[in-house]
Structure 1
Amino acid sequence: MAAVVGLGIVLAGCTAQKDVTDYSQTEHWLNVPTSTDKKVDVFYLYPTTYAPADQTNPSISTIDDPGMMANAKLAYDRQATAYETVANIYAPFYRQDNLSAVNREETIAGIPTTDATAAFDYYIKHYNNGRPFILVGHSQGSDVMSNILSGYLKEHPDVYKRMVVAYVVGFTITDDYLAANPHLKFAQGPDDTGVIVSYNTEAPEVLPPGNPVITAGALTINPINWKRDETLATAAENLGSIGLNKNGSAVRNAEGFIEPVMNFADAQIDLAKGALICSTVNVDVYSPGSATFGKGVYHTFDYPFYYFNLRENAANRTSKYFEKNDAKV
């Protein structure tokens, strides 16, 4: 069973007790590096990996749900590893919604955000040691990350100063969100720091039920050319996608390394939709559609399509961060 401790949280003027996972317990971490040889960290939150067998299971997972934990490791392999050459990667397990909640944002702002915020606070106080950090999330993980950005980092400006960039991918960031959180800003190019990067990948045509992670006013940046306009970035400009095994893990060579798949995925922003359009991938193979995502939604591939571009960008923004702070990488 999960170890929990009491945490007093003030909600709507009333004090209520919420349980929170105890992140001093090593089993509640998906990854803690054995050495900190990099000068920057990554704090990573995985996407929705909790899928109960039937509706008799709780809508919120336990912290030690076997399926969630196993799928989180697969998500880490195809997403967080993009940053392993740049940063020391810290990744907590956190209790998740199974996407069945009627008011999903309210649900995710509850236990999932409470857990992840506690994990981030523990990371800052016990693991970070004053290093700059990069935030990385996907889907539900990015939803939760947006709450950390608007909550914890607003309340701790001294910590926010050390944020190199936040990759809030597979979730919508809007002007309204930024207006409500003036301490935050969206990336304008490849070099700015302390900013949010976000996009959601689709084919040129998406069939019903559509793309539930894109809402009106979605802000987007192109992860190949790092522009905010509709300039096409060709597949030839892509630094490398990655292949996935049937279980969702990254394809590796005989030596265990993830190799780039070249000339595979292009990228072009559709400003009207707030989506990142990929036109060069076989939609029948990579997004045939499901009950949750319509045919043409490349949600699972937000990281795999642009894996090596994200790696290079994280390294670049880290370099720019240290240049601004009169330090060398």
Structure 2
Amino acid sequence: MKQIASLLMAAILLSGTSTVALATGGTPPSFADQTPPPAPDYARPEAWAARAGAPGASSIRPPGAEAAPSDAAVDVFYVHPTTYRSKGSWNQDIADTATNAWTDASVIARQAGVFNGCCRIYAPRYRQGSTLSFMAMDGDGGRAFDLAYTDVERAFDHYLKHDNKGRPFILAGHSQGARHLMVLLERRIDGTELARRMVAAYVVGVNLSEGDFGKTYKSLTACDTPAQTGCVVGWNATLAQTDIPMVSAAGERRYVEWYGDDPGKRILCINPVSFDRGKPETTADQALGAVPGAPGEGAMQATQPGAVAARCVNGFLVVEPAAGLDLTPLPGGSMHYHDYGLFYADIRTNARLRIDAFLKAARQ
């Protein structure tokens, strides 16, 4: 596997984290000296945070949001971000119930659940790389990410063999989860028969460059229009106070190291209000609905329409959320925790639009 990319900045990487399971004390063992947790068995229900017939927290909806029909024609395979804050272990044991509970409350409900109005949702638990992993991405941290990816790929293959049955599917993920999807797209989707069954991929909160299309991915393309299918969407939300030149340079580093310093290094930014690369700027009144409040804290509140202005600036999505949303940024102004929640209703509506276009084309 290619060298693991840096995912913006250290503070951004800890998407969905909480105060659970923060191990401290002493120098951690090397990856080679630490016995990895047992590999998940994806034939067992406990290896899934969500699956058909057992959606778990992915079934949670804001007041007023409709559930998917029982005969939904499309699946979503969702990979969650970092929720394991250990500084003493490289990878999470999926038997860690405290981390699983936080994962479910913070991101299975608020990210995977975005798609519960259109689709059956499959969300594997996996031996995610921990907080510790981000401190050594060129060494043991990269090895921890490699291990995590093997679980994601095995989970996807299990889903294909036992659950998919030829159905169209959406890929979705965030931060670390999106990074694993970047690899899965390269290894298992690009240039294969599966690409024809992929409605779209929402690869959010990660450094996916415009030039990856045509280089990393030989046939997959970025989504240019809201109803386009078989393509990839991505964005990274931040406030205007963020030092965009600094985070852009950090985000572009992976591409430059692999392919050289050319215009393709710019991070992919598709505004998730317009979902149109020709319309990179939208006003607050165009936004369909954001979820207020911090992820994982209390019941999900009703979405608020007209609450987020957004514009793509040098590869990043600069947002202006209404004060009433009560969303706390990360240091430096990053809205990484809120990449999905800011656009909850917009993503939900877009997924249905792409599905309708996909199914219509399939009938022709």
Partner of 1:91: 123
Contact map agreement 1:30 1:92 (CA 8 A) in 2: yes
Which residue in the other structure is 1:79 paired with? 111
Distance 1:25 1:213, change over 3 A: farther
Check the 8 A contact 1:287/1:295 in 2, yes or no. no
Q: Could you say which residue in structure 2 is the equivalent of 1:70?
A: 101
Aligned residue number for residue 76 of structure 2: 42
Deviation beyond 6 Å, 4+ runs, structure 1: none
SS of aligned partner of 2:345: helix
Which residue pairs with 1:117 in the alignment? 153
Mapped partners of 1:130, 1:241: distance in 2: 33
- Within a 5 Å distance, the mapping from 1:179-328 to structure 2 comes to 179-206=215-242, 215-216=251-252, 217-229=266-278, 231-244=280-293, 247-248=296-297, 251-252=300-301, 259-270=302-313, 272=314, 274-282=315-323, 286-289=327-330, 294-326=331-363
Distance in 2 separating the partners of 1:120 and 1:92: 8
- Matches of residues 78-157 of structure 1 in structure 2 within 5 Å? 78-101=110-133, 102-103=136-137, 106-107=142-143, 109-154=145-190, 157=192
Question: For 1:22 and 1:308, how far apart are their aligned partners in 2?
Answer: 34
1:276-328 C-alpha deviation (Å, 9 max, x unpaired)? 01024449963453xxxx3310001111110001011000000111111116x
Does the Cα contact within 8 Å between 1:43 and 1:136 map onto a contact in 2? Answer: yes
- Cα pair distance change 1:260/1:282, threshold 3 Å: closer
Distance 1:250 1:212 in 2: 35
Structure 1 unaligned blocks of 5 or more: 1-17, 253-258
- TM-score norm. by structure 1 comes to 0.82
Query: Over aligned residue pairs, what C-alpha RMSD do you find?
Result: 2.7
Q: Indicate conservation of the 8 Å contact 1:108/1:144, yes or no.
A: no
Cα deviation, residue 158, structure 1: 1.8
The letter for the 2-side match of 1:96 is Q
Equivalent residue number for residue 26 of structure 1: 45
Contact 1:245 1:251 in 2 (8 A): no
Q: For structure 2, which runs of at least 5 residues remain unmatched after alignment?
A: 1-36, 55-69, 253-265
Rounded Cα–Cα distance in structure 2 between residues aligned with 1:214 and 1:173? 12
Look up the SS of the partner of 2:222 in the other structure. Answer: coil
**What is the TM-score with the length of structure 2 in the denominator?**
0.74
CA distance in 1, matches of 2:275, 2:295: 30
CA distance in 2, matches of 1:197, 1:295: 24
Deviations 1:231-284 (CA, angstroms, capped at 9, x unpaired): 4211111111112357346524xxxxxx221221111111x2x10010244499
Matches within 5 A, 1:161-176: 161-176=196-211
Give how far 1:180 is off.
2.1
Matched with 1:3 is: none
Sequence identity percentage: 29
SS of the residue 1:189 aligns to: coil
Q: Flag the 1:250–1:134 CA change in 2: closer, same or farther, 3 A.
A: farther
Higher helix share: 2
**Post-superposition offset of 1:113:** 0.6
Specify the code of the residue in structure 2 equivalent to 1:86. Answer: C
Give the distance between the partners of 1:267 and 1:214, measured in 2 at CA: 22
Query: Does the 8 A contact of 1:283 with 1:295 survive in 2?
Result: no
